[in-house]
Amino acid sequence: MSATQESPLADKVVLVTGSARRIGAAIAQAFHAKGAKVAVHYHRSCAEAGALVRAMNAERMASAAAFGADLADLAALEALPASVVGTLGALDVLINNASTFYPTPVGKISRAAFDDLVGTNLRAPLFLSQAAAPELRRRQGLILNIADIHGLRPLGRHAVYCAAKAALLMLTQSLARELGPEIRVNAIAPGPVLWPENGMDEELRRRIVARTVLKRTGSPEDVAKAALFFATDAPFVTGQVLAVDGGRLVGGEER
């Protein structure tokens, strides 16, 4: 018997939003390596999603599929779980990973930025979880929300993003209470794992790393391992938030 056949994820179906690249892709690859069938959701990253799915299917035939959807479009969002079930046969795990992140200094916050940040980081996970709930309930499934330590600790000039992620953490607990006992709902709060794609000042990076207990950045694979823990090794855990942050929340100022 192969390692993937022995895995509790063998032939389970996992939907990871925003999984064409970065942390989402690492999570998708980790679940696929454990035998799961993976639904790779993307919005604009069509080429990257296609390449990832082809690589997975080269390893195991018909084990992955790409699903394009704008999560700001409520109709497209609500249709996504049914599309996954229709293509891959079921849905066992929903990982709400898709996110937008950029500064919104107070005094310069626009309605468009507010709608975008709250829409991607809170509204989409809520309505996608609601749409997926009937199938997840039938399958005794899992919802996993990828939040941020800045939902627990504010980040300067990012008031809207932090508020949306804080709300996502409360949503995690609320859904855990409402959807149990059939569905478990947990969250991961990454810390300094990947820097913003639009760049960050090198001195600021240095200060952030210095304020972690482990004095280094993490990797997307660290977040993926935490996701696997919730999916495979934590059957009695729900409504919890796991910070994958190298001790950033408790690190304080540089020593």
Catalytic residue list: 161
Half-sphere exposure of 63 (CA within 13 A, CB side): 22
**How many angstroms separate the CA atoms of 44 and 79, rounded?**
18
Alpha-carbon distance 198 to 100, whole Å? 12
Beta strands 64-68 and 13-16, pairing class: unpaired
3-state SS track over 69-134: CCCCCHHHHHHHHHHHHHHHCCCCEEEECCCCCCCECCCCCCHHHHHHHHHHHHHHHHHHHHHHHH
